[in-house]
Structures are given as C-alpha cells and as structure tokens.
Amino acid sequence: MKSANEIGVFNGNVIVSENGKIIYHNELGFTDYTKSKKLSRESIMPIGSITKEFSSTGILFLVENGKLNLEDNVSDYLTYLPNWATKIQIKHLLQYTSGLPSIFKNTNSEYLAELNKVKKLDFEPGTGYIYSNANIFLQQEIIKKITNLSYEDFLKNKFFKKLKISGGKTPKDSILIANMAGSFDNDFKETTFIHGGGEMYFSITDLYNWVNNLHNEKIVNKNSLTILAKSFDKNSESSLGNTVIENNEITEHSHQGSGNNYESYIYYESKNRTTIVLITNNQNFKLGAITESILNILAEKPFTIPKKSIYLDIRGKLLENFQNGISFYEQIKSTQKEKYDFSNEVSDLINTGKYLMRRNRFEDAIKIFQLSTTIDSKNTIAISSAYSFIGECYNKMEKADLAIINLKKALEFDAKNKNAEEMLKRIENK
C-alpha cells in the first residue's frame, strides 16, 4: 500500500479483515490538492455507486416488514409519474431493467423533470438493461412514500444507528465541513464539486461496517441478499454490483463507486470471510487491482503493484483533440509500458469509448470501441461488448442499419449477450 501511494496510484484509506478481524488499517496521503493535511481514520468521502446498495437494501427491508411487494407497480406508490409507471414493477428497479433511459442528475427536482419528459420506455420492463440512476431515484421515492421519512432519516433510523455508521453527511452549498476530504486529479487540481456535490460522505469504517453487517445478515435476511445479488445477465450489474452466487449463496461480492475523482471499492468473499475496503479522493481506477494484490498477499502468492491508468490519461486528451489523444496513446504504448498499465488495455479502451459516448461524441467513441476489438482476439466477451456499444452509438445516431450490423457482430462473438440481443429486437421491430 505504501508503494502504491509512492508511485501515485493510491491516496486514501484501507481496511483488510479476515474471519471478522481487522488485520490491516491504514491512511495514506492527503485530504486535498494542497497536500497540507494528511488523511485520518475519521476522513470521510463520497462512495459513488456503492450508495445504491442502501436504497435497494431499503426496499428489501420494507418487503421483509410487509410494507410492499416486489411485484407491485411503481404507480401503486408514486402517482405523479407518466403512464409508463404502471408497467414498471419494483423488482425492475433493482436490476435496472425498468426500460427507463440513462438519467444522471444531481437533485430530486431535476430527476422529476427528466422523468416527466419520458414519453415511452426504451424497452418492455424486464427484457433489457440500462444502468440509469433513475432506478435509484425511484427506489428512494418509494421508500420516502411508504415510511413518511426523508430518505436520509430512513437510512439513519433504520440502518446507520444500528450499524455504527456515523457518516451519511452531505455538503451544504458545496462547502466541505468537519472531516470531509476534497478530491483532486493527478495534476493536483481540485475536482471536489466538478459535477455537483450532493452525495453523502462516509468513512472507511462506515463502509466496512456496512459490508460486514450485510453479509452477517444483520440488515436483511439471506433470501433478500440473494435477490439483491442477482443481475439481468453476466454483462450487467446487480444492486450489489458484481456478485458470484453458488448454491444460492453469495460467495463473492465486489462493488466499485466513483465520481468527481473520488473512488471506493468493497470486496467480500465468504470462504475466509475476507473483507477489503478502500476509499480514495484521487481516483486512478486501480482499487480493483490493489484488491487483487492484497488477496494474493493473503494467499501467499506473488503480487504486483499497479501502474498508471491508460484510461485516465487518454480520455481528456481524446475529448479535447481526438487525433492528439490517439497519438499520445500510441506514444505511451511504444515507449512507456514500464509506467502505464497495459494489462487491462481492452477494458480501458472500452471505458474510454463509454466516456466519449456519455458526452455524445458517438463517432469518436465508435473509433475507440473498434480499436478495442483489435487488441486481444481471444477476449470474445469484451469484443462482443464493444460491438454492442458500437451498435448503441449508431442507434443514438439514428443509423439503424449500421446498429443492426454491429449488434449481430456482438452476438457472433457472444451469443449470450442479452443486452445486444434485446437491443437488436427493439431496433428490428421499430
């Protein structure tokens, strides 16, 4: 961990435990871009997508207490939404299969405004997958409606107090208070509120307590956990992120969250009851690789210290000037492999394509997705995923014929790519 900090791929806090006992707990680095104050165990940061575990677990908590059923329609509780709410069941919100489009906003009023603009779902609920925060927002609205509490008070009263989670604090007027750590990029530029600042902040201990109590069934029961762990297909996330289920038991649970250069990662495996939690305010997308190295150390196997991310260093350059970005990528690939991590090159390129896609740079995104298919001919799952994204780009560009060609290619490389299959059906049936 010290080496990872020294080479610039980890600035943050970490906990490692085995059999329910913490064996390593450390803080490495600084609270903000000024490097004037070191992180402490009390430092708190936003945890990105991991917060979705709170709302989905809250839904199952209410199910266990007889307050709702997963087959209930969203319209049974939220009467102010357009007619599509009569088609979406609550279970669809948990697996991102509601058919709602990608919506990522900062405030409740913004989400409501966007949802009221939706005239038609992208697909019939339960038949496809779109990772949209609209699903999380609706879960929270249902929780508020049923409990007559604010979402924050629900979490505090039903979960946080019992689990000894002291965080859950949110900055007001984009001002950091108490132990909130600011975020920064690799050039030590402040990035704390570049995309809004309405997220809840948590300490490393808060997150550790959440994961352990979840798997010790102190929050919801085993059946509810299994429901939360199920995803639409192997290419999609569940409410708990990524899980491995064997004989109806969760054997592994990993989840990454990020935003505004904050990043968090949780990992749990049942055999040795190993829990690893990392939070950082200087995102380098290396928390998964660091976790893998920690697991190797615990297993007394060889390990590596992660290198710099290709994705983080090329995405901005591609956005600013695509050709210059490509030249930079080719240059580091030929001369700086000792500094940059090319072991996940395909994944980094696909993530870069998605980054451009989210900014409506569809033609540039297609070029990057196409490039990713040339790196590793054996990685058919990734190649299928890339062609699926190319098809999605062409569909957004209203080029249905090219979308169909690429979605069919996706299925040639992976016949089980349900996302490509369902997208293809929707386009062909228009």
Domains 1-306 and 309-428 share a fold: no
pLDDT band for position 105 (cuts 50, 70, 90): confident
d(CA 225, CA 268): 13
> What value does the mean pLDDT of the chain take?
95
pLDDT at 356 over 90: yes
Using one digit for the tens of pLDDT, what is the confidence trace for 57-87? Answer: 999 999 999 999 999 999 999 999 999 999 9
Q: What is the mean pLDDT of residues 150-156?
A: 96
Give the phi and the psi of residue 212 in degrees, each rounded to 5: -65, -45
What's the topology of domain 309-428?
1.25.40
Helix 222-229 × helix 52-64 angle, to 10°: 140
Strand ranges for 156-305 from DSSP E: 201-202, 242-246, 249-259, 262-269, 274-280
Give the phi and the psi of residue 120 in degrees, each rounded to 5: -145, 140
51 CB-near residues (< 8 Å, 6+ apart): 199, 200, 257
Tell me the DSSP string of 94-162.
HTT-S-PPP---SSHHHHHHHHHH--S-SS-TTS-----HHHHHHHHHHHHHHH-S-HHHHHIIIIIHH
Cα within 13 Å of Cα(194), Cβ side: 13
Query: Which amino acid, one-letter code, is at 29?
Result: G
Tell me the DSSP string of 355-392.
HHHHTT-HHHHHHHHHHHTTT-TT-HHHHHHHHHHHHH
Question: Which of 117-126, 182-191, 357-366 comes out lowest in average pLDDT?
Answer: 182-191
Cα within 13 Å of Cα(47), Cβ side: 29
For residue 291, what are its two tokens?
A: 């976790």
Using one digit for the tens of pLDDT, what is the confidence trace for 193-211? Answer: 998 888 999 999 999 999 9
The per-residue pLDDT for 424 is 96
Nearest to 180 by CA among 202, 208, 152, 165: 202
pLDDT at 108 over 90: no
The per-residue pLDDT for 7 is 83
1 and 26 Cβ atoms separated by less than 8 Å: yes
Between these two residues, 102 and 31, which has the higher pLDDT value?
31
pLDDT band for position 6 (cuts 50, 70, 90): confident
pLDDT at 107 over 90: no
DSSP state of 56: H
Is 173 exposed, middle or buried (CB count within 10 Å of its CB: 0-12, 13-18, 19+)?
exposed
d(CA 356, CA 365): 5
pLDDT band for position 252 (cuts 50, 70, 90): very high
Residue written as tokens 């660091």? 290
The per-residue pLDDT for 308 is 85
| Residue boundaries of the structural domains of the chain | 1-306, 309-428
Is 323 exposed, middle or buried (CB count within 10 Å of its CB: 0-12, 13-18, 19+)?
exposed
Q: Is the four-CA dihedral 108, 111, 113, 118 of positive or negative sign?
A: negative
Question: Which of 134-138, 233-237, 293-297 comes out lowest in average pLDDT?
Answer: 233-237
340 and 359 Cβ atoms separated by less than 8 Å: no
17 and 211 Cβ atoms separated by less than 8 Å: no
The per-residue pLDDT for 235 is 86
What's the topology of domain 1-306?
Beta-lactamase (3.40.710)
Using one digit for the tens of pLDDT, what is the confidence trace for 387-423? Answer: 999 999 999 999 999 999 999 999 999 999 999 999 9
d(CA 257, CA 238): 13
pLDDT band for position 225 (cuts 50, 70, 90): very high
Q: What is the mean pLDDT of residues 152-160?
A: 96
The per-residue pLDDT for 117 is 94
Q: Is the four-CA dihedral 312, 313, 316, 322 of positive or negative sign?
A: negative
d(CA 295, CA 229): 22
377 and 325 Cβ atoms separated by less than 8 Å: no
The per-residue pLDDT for 88 is 98
